[in-house]
């Protein structure tokens, strides 16, 4: 016999009637006795939390990272020790510019935010499906994003604004070349690579640090769509493809590779290794395969897991670290700050954000402090002492052996705002262009001309100059498409 489940209020009391409100007479107004109705309406009014300003439209799934190469010589992090070691992961893909209810098959960068639930805490690599980004300084980020969003008056997308920003910011040329190439619209989330994009770091038990770039190469193969093909796709097609593949056991996977640069190599390398608009050429720093990433479990509840997943590049574990990459430094602040705004100061206590290890600290209270933050820490850390240092035995203490090795500043490191206008903004975009087939070059020029054609004459002229500096043929092709 099945047990009957009764409808209840949020305080757990059974509800006798949920179809009709209480009114004064059959045709009369409602009364204050309707407190159950008030709870229903009030909760409904609060269903939405602030949408992410970027990466609002997301798609999440759980899975496993299997380490196939022992990295104990490079990193103290236990999830990188041994072979065949498995770590639970959560991966959230996203588009960047559109809101939560925008379409899937837009020409846009895709977010590739990965969380490793390691035994020593959560490690988040909050990357994209591109190895570089549009800007190298976080001071430019809000302006860049505003230029990609809808026009403040008409509330319509305005490609002319994209190019107006880019014409004054040639540091975007490399990323524009990727975005406008055939890879700008993946066929599905399974058919694209992921990249940590930033230069991150690892350090070992001897206090030696190396700089690291992470690459996640799709095992499904790269597949892309043209603008015309994308226009015929259903708005939710990428979400459907991901959920259905995992449901039927066709688990998408990625080969995990890293590039490694020593601190000494970094000092002598011709390219600034911390510039997010640049890659490290594979011929200089070959990819080393270290593992496999597999998605094998769909979320049970989209809001609780995918929407509330709070990735932050500041979530690190002993043995992995950040780097002087200026964009990364900005994100170390901005991501955790965004989550405090969207989800509250205790966002890391939500199930999808909880580490799989004990949490012991002296932080207490705040909005929505949860019970059982971790299996061991109890309700808001129960009655345990809430200040440090203290004289008690068995209270949380720092662990000096996990201190990150100190990072020297370059000599003559004057504190000021450094102007990077004279950086080489063109060579790597040109290298990518020259790698492309005839068909890819034509698609690239056509895709650019589509939006650039809406910009002013001055913006068009400056953009053609930028493309020409990447490669004269690149400039000529865009010019020809604009005129055609």
- Residues with a known catalytic role: 55, 128
Pair 380, 365: CB distance under 8 Å: yes
Smallest gap from residue 196 Cβ to ligand NDP (A): 10
Stretch that binds ligand NDP, among 140-148, 269-277, 362-370, 429-437 (CB under 6 A): 429-437
Q: What are phi and psi of 465, to 5 degrees?
A: -60, -45
Size of the residue set binding ligand NDP (CB under 6 A): 17
Which residue of 48, 282, 364, 461 would you call a contact of ligand NDP, by CB under 6 A?
282
Smallest gap from residue 68 Cβ to ligand NDP (A): 19
Stated as kind and residue range, the H or E segment containing 440 is: helix 438-452
Q: 159-167 vs 141-148: helix axis angle to the nearest 10?
A: 150
Pair 361, 345: CB distance under 8 Å: no
Give the whole-angstrom CA distance, residue 236 versus residue 241: 9
181 lies in the binding site for ligand NDP (CB under 6 A): yes
477 lies in the binding site for ligand NDP (CB under 6 A): no
Pair 345, 366: CB distance under 8 Å: yes
- CB-nearer residue toward ligand NDP: 74 or 180: 180
Smallest gap from residue 272 Cβ to ligand NDP (A): 14
279 lies in the binding site for ligand NDP (CB under 6 A): yes
Which residue of 54, 61, 135, 178 would you call a contact of ligand NDP, by CB under 6 A?
178
Which residue of 82, 281, 351, 378 would you call a contact of ligand NDP, by CB under 6 A?
281
Beta bridge partners of 215: 195, 257
Cα→Cα distances 315→15, 90, 123, 203, 326, Å: 43, 14, 5, 16, 17
Which residue of 36, 57, 183, 190 would you call a contact of ligand NDP, by CB under 6 A?
183
283 lies in the binding site for ligand NDP (CB under 6 A): yes
The 3-state secondary structure of 283-310, one letter per residue: CCCCCEEEEEEEEEEECCCHHHHHHCCC
The three-state secondary structure class of 411 is: coil
Stretch that binds ligand NDP, among 36-44, 154-162, 229-237, 281-289 (CB under 6 A): 281-289
Pair 401, 146: CB distance under 8 Å: no
- CB-nearer residue toward ligand NDP: 109 or 432: 432
Which residue of 212, 320, 327, 432 would you call a contact of ligand NDP, by CB under 6 A?
432
- CB-nearer residue toward ligand NDP: 161 or 257: 257
Smallest gap from residue 279 Cβ to ligand NDP (A): 4
Q: 427-435 vs 472-483: helix axis angle to the nearest 10?
A: 70
435 lies in the binding site for ligand NDP (CB under 6 A): yes
428 lies in the binding site for ligand NDP (CB under 6 A): yes
Pair 174, 128: CB distance under 8 Å: no
Cβ atoms < 10 Å from Cβ of 395? 15
Residue numbers of the site for ligand NDP (CB under 6 A)? 131, 178, 181-183, 193, 217, 222, 279-283, 428, 431-432, 435
């Amino acid at each position: 016999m099945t047990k009957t489940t009764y409808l209840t209020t949020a305080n757990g009391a059974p509800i006798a009637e949920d179809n009709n409100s209480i009114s004064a007479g059959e045709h009369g107004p409602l009364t204050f006795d309707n407190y159950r109705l008030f709870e229903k309406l009030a909760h409904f009014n609060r269903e939405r939390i602030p949408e992410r300003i970027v990466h609002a439209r997301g798609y999440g799934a759980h899975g496993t990272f299997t380490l196939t190469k022992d990295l104990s010589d490079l990193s103290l992090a236990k999830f990188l020790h041994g072979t065949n070691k498995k770590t639970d992961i959560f991966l959230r893909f996203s588009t960047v510019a559109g809101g939560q209810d925008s379409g899937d098959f837009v020409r846009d960068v895709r977010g590739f935010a990965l969380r490793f639930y390691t035994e020593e805490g959560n490690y988040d690599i909050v990357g994209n499906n591109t190895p570089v980004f549009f800007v190298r300084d976080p001071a430019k980020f809000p302006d860049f994003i505003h230029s990609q969003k809808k026009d403040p008056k008409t509330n319509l997308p305005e490609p002319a604004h994209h190019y107006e920003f880019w014409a004054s910011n040639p540091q975007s040329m490399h990323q524009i070349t990727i975005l406008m190439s055939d890879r700008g619209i993946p066929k599905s989330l399974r058919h694209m690579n992921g990249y940590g994009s930033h230069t991150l770091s690892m350090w070992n038990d001897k206090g030696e640090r190396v700089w690291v770039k992470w690459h996640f190469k799709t095992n499904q193969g790269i597949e892309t769509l043209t603008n015309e093909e994308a226009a015929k796709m259903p708005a939710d097609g990428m979400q459907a493809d991901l959920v259905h593949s995992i449901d039927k056991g066709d688990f998408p996977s990625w080969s995990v590779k890293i590039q490694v640069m020593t601190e000494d190599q970094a000092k002598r390398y011709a390219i600034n290794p911390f510039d997010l608009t640049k890659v490290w050429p594979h011929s200089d720093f070959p990819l080393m395969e270290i593992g496999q990433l597999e998605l094998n479990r769909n979320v049970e509840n989209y809001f609780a897991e995918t929407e509330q997943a709070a990735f932050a590049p500041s979530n690190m574990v002993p043995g992995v670290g950040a780097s002087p990459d200026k964009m990364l430094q900005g994100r170390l602040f901005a991501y955790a700050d965004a989550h405090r705004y969207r989800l509250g100061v205790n966002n890391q206590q939500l199930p999808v954000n909880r580490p799989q290890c004990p949490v012991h600290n002296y932080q207490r209270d705040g909005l929505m402090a949860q019970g059982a933050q971790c299996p061991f820490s109890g309700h808001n850390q129960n009655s345990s002492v809430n200040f440090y240092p203290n004289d008690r035995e068995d209270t949380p203490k720092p662990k000096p052996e996990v201190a990150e090795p100190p990072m020297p500043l370059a000599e003559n490191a004057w504190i000021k705002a450094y102007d990077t206008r004279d950086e080489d903004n063109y060579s790597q975009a040109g290298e990518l262009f020259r790698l492309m087939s005839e068909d890819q070059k034509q698609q690239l020029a056509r895709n650019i001309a589509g939006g650039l054609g809406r910009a002013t004459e001055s913006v068009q002229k400056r953009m053609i100059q930028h493309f020409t500096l990447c490669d004269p043929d690149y400039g000529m092709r865009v010019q020809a498409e604009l005129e055609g």
